[in-house]
Structure 1
Amino acid sequence: MQETELRKSDLPVIPGKRYFTIGEVSDLCQVKSHVLRYWEQEFSQLKPVRRGNRRYYRRQDVLLIRQIRSLLYDKRFTIDGARNHLKGEVQKLDASQYKQLIRQTIAELEDVVDALDGIPSS
């Protein structure tokens, strides 16, 4: 399957971590690392935390990257069009983002249940 044929629903659930490396974000968003670095230059809202030469993306960065990816690949916006779209709107969650957050929350809760099942009862 080509990168442009992937839809938001095909993207993996975002794990319950605080920070993600560029490689992890690349896998989560199905976008190559060099594209992520380019988007950092083009979209002022995208500012990963930098420690030394390494980038660490937060959950909101991953959601923003998925939104940018959807605008560019699914809705066929130009870079300028996507930039203007993001600047012009207060970043509101659309239905697909709510679904992603719900799937993510369910996955995190399942991890908690699994962890609790492994604890012997006293």
Structure 2
Amino acid sequence: MSDPSPTEDLPPIPGKRYFTIGEVSTLCDVKPYVLRYWEQEFTELEPVKRRGNRRYYQRRDIIVIRRIRALVYEQGFTLDGARRRLAGSVEKRDHTESRQVVRQTIAELEGVLRILKSTTRERETLRTRGELPPQGP
């Protein structure tokens, strides 16, 4: 791990829930002491701490670490610059996710509206046939 390799040369992230600092160090080609330091510098990194303060990282943490690594080691950003860039990409992602949630909510509401209109038409048809009592006041 003396000279960091390009991010595309890193191994794939295994499909498990938690990773130790040693596993993350290998997966991201970053030394454990650097990972511990980055935790202090980047609020996006939040490994779960259990038994004796052992760190357990999740997939999202590994993705953030790889992004930080690329910004610092490959693109030449300072930690402050990487922090700002990362915060900007998080804001963009949050905005994009918010728009997706709004679109999905609109689609669901339109579906509910179609069902309500259809039900209302069916009730009116049944009323005109005399199969339902007239609507009350």
Whether these two folds match at TM > 0.5 is yes
Q: How many residue pairs were aligned? A: 91
Residues 106-121 of structure 1: matches in 2 within 5 Å?
Answer: none
Aligned to 2:57: 57
Matched, 1:23 2:28: no
Larger Rg: 2
Point out which structure has higher relative CO (alpha carbons under 8 A, 6+ apart). Answer: 1
Matched residue SS, 1:50 = strand
Q: Report the aligned-residue RMSD.
A: 1.5
Alpha-carbon offset, residue 71 of structure 1: 0.3
SS of corresponding position for 2:49: strand
Cα displacement (A) at 1:87: 1.1
Map of 2:81 onto structure 1: 81
Note the C-alpha offset of 1:89: 2.1
Distance 1:22 1:2 in 2: 18
Q: Secondary structure at the match of 1:45?
A: coil
What whole-Å deviation, never above 9, does each CA across 1:39-93 have from its counterpart, x for those lacking one?
A: 000001101001131000000000100000000000000000000111122365x
* Percent of aligned positions that are identical: 62
Q: When the two structures are superposed, what TM-score results if normalisation uses the length of structure 1? A: 0.70
The Cα shift of 1:2 comes to 4.3
